[in-house]
């Protein structure tokens, strides 16, 4: 009977993980291009999103290209007219998914003006028309513009510029309904986070979007959360419950527990999670403030561990020999979120993110310092250099995926 219970728990865990993946907006084999202005060009919400996907679904093959250019509007900008941008920086990658984040510059940083809005609406429709015509079946996510900070500082005119961006976002939501593509609101939840942060720590809240336009890492991780939620991203990393008295794993979702046995003053086991937590740098005070001002951990980063059946007292939780926290028996029975602790899994996820950043730097170097400046000088040596950088980025992507693969970890819960 006990073996049947263990098998059922394992099958339910696998089924739960598969269902979560099936509901997610990205699929195995997808190629995602992030298209937009300087906020996309910062490569922060985009790289946070990429790292989440790679660490949460390490067995899937989903690739990402970051094609933001500072100053862009729907008509284009510093990288050239919009059709140049699309044909050079989006279409050649043959994406299956394209996100479009524009509007911040299109509103001209002034009160709402109908002719200016008409330019935006017509220009955005042109972009989606080109994408759908050239990439049949492409899945578009229109991003409602991230906020202009009228929260931590007084608006510059009545109503404030962010209300202009909200109107632009409302249009995108309507267009998405009419044309049957996705939409992600990167404004509302970030504004809510700014308001809460302003109540908690007004000085640091003003630094989340320091120039009122371009968020730092703390603001971008909230933007990544909004995009991932629009794609139905699962909260679950792994969920394990151990009964120390019966020496049995009574729940293991998206995780596999083996070799569970009594240890000196406690219990030990081997655990292999099928995903990694999203690495969050809580040492960064602005990221920490963003976490306190949002539901990021609850919505996207849940790795609960419960250990019941322990005698009263305090216990050290060790993973691979490292003490990651000390807890009472009551706290362990109620559950702790491993995604909030400095675990080896968190360090592994941070290594994945470092490789995410490296391959994006490599792509940026190839694109912006060689391909575009020298596009009128297509010499054989230039083409060889571009090919070599593509291969180098491919090597970094292989390293990134290898770094994300599940590893068996040794857990111990030891009485102090």
pLDDT in tens, 66-104: 999 999 999 999 999 999 999 999 999 999 999 999 999
Task: List, run by run, the mean pLDDT of 10-residue segments along the chain (416 residues).
Answer: 38 42 89 98 98 98 97 97 98 98 98 98 98 98 98 97 98 97 98 98 98 98 98 98 96 97 93 98 97 98 97 97 97 98 98 98 96 90 94 97 98 96
CA distance 391 to 374: 19
Give CA–CA dist 230/232, Å, rounded: 5
By C-alpha distance, which of 100, 186, 181 is closest to 144? Answer: 186
**Per-residue pLDDT reduced to its tens digit, 194-246:** 999 999 999 999 999 999 999 999 999 999 999 999 999 999 999 999 999 99
Predicted local confidence at residue 63, as pLDDT: 97
> Domains plus CATH for the chain?
1-23+235-416 (no CATH), 25-230 (3.40.50.1110)
Residue at token pair 């809240």: 205
CB 339 within 8 Å of CB 303: yes
Q: Helix, strand, or coil here: 307?
A: strand
| CB-based contacts of 99, cutoff 8 Å, min separation 6 | 32, 33, 34, 35, 36, 140, 141, 142, 143, 184, 227
Contacts of 347 (CB under 8 A, 6+ apart): none
Cβ neighbors of 346 (< 8 A, separation 6 or more) are 276, 277, 279, 339
């Amino acid at each position: 009977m006990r073996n049947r219970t263990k098998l059922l728990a394992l099958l339910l865990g696998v089924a739960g993980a598969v269902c979560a993946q099936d509901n997610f907006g990205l699929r195995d084999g997808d190629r995602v291009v992030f298209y937009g202005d300087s906020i996309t060009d910062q490569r922060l919400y985009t790289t946070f999103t990429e790292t989440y996907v790679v660490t949460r679904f390490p067995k899937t093959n989903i690739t990402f290209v970051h094609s933001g250019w500072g100053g862009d509007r729907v008509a284009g900008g510093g990288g050239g007219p919009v059709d140049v941008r699309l044909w050079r920086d989006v279409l050649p990658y043959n994406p299956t998914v394209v996100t479009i984040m524009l509007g911040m510059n299109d509103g001209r940083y002034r009160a709402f003006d109908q002719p200016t809005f008409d330019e935006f609406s017509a220009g955005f429709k042109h972009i989606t028309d080109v994408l759908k015509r050239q990439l049949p079946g492409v899945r578009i996510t229109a991003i409602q513009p991230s906020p202009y900070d009228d929260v931590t500082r007084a608006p510059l005119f009545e109503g404030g510029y962010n209300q202009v961006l909200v109107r632009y976002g409302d249009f995108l939501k309507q267009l998405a309904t009419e044309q049957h593509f996705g939409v992600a609101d990167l404004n509302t939840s970030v504004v809510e986070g700014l308001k809460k942060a302003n109540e908690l720590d007004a000085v640091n809240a003003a630094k989340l979007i320091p120039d009122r336009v371009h968020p730092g890492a703390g603001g971008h991780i909230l933007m990544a959360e909004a995009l991932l939620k629009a794609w139905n991203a699962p909260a679950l990393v792994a969920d394990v419950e151990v009964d120390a008295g019966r020496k049995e794993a009574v729940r293991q979702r998206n995780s596999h527990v083996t070799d569970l046995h009594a240890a000196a003053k406690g219990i030990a086991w081997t655990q292999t999670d099928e995903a990694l937590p999203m690495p969050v740098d809580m040492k960064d005070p602005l990221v920490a403030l963003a976490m306190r001002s949002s539901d990021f951990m609850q919505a996207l980063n849940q790795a609960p561990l419960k250990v019941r059946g322990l005698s009263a007292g305090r216990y050290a939780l060790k993973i691979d020999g490292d003490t990651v926290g000390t807890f009472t028996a009551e706290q362990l029975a109620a559950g702790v979120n491993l995604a909030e602790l400095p675990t080896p899994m968190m360090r592994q996820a941070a290594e994945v993110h470092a490789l995410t950043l490296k391959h994006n730097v490599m792509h940026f170097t190839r694109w912006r310092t060689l391909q575009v400046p020298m596009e009128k000088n297509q010499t054989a040596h230039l083409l060889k250099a571009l090919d070599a950088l593509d291969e180098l980025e491919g090597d970094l992507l292989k390293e990134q995926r290898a770094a994300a693969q599940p590893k068996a970890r040794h857990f111990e819960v030891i009485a102090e």
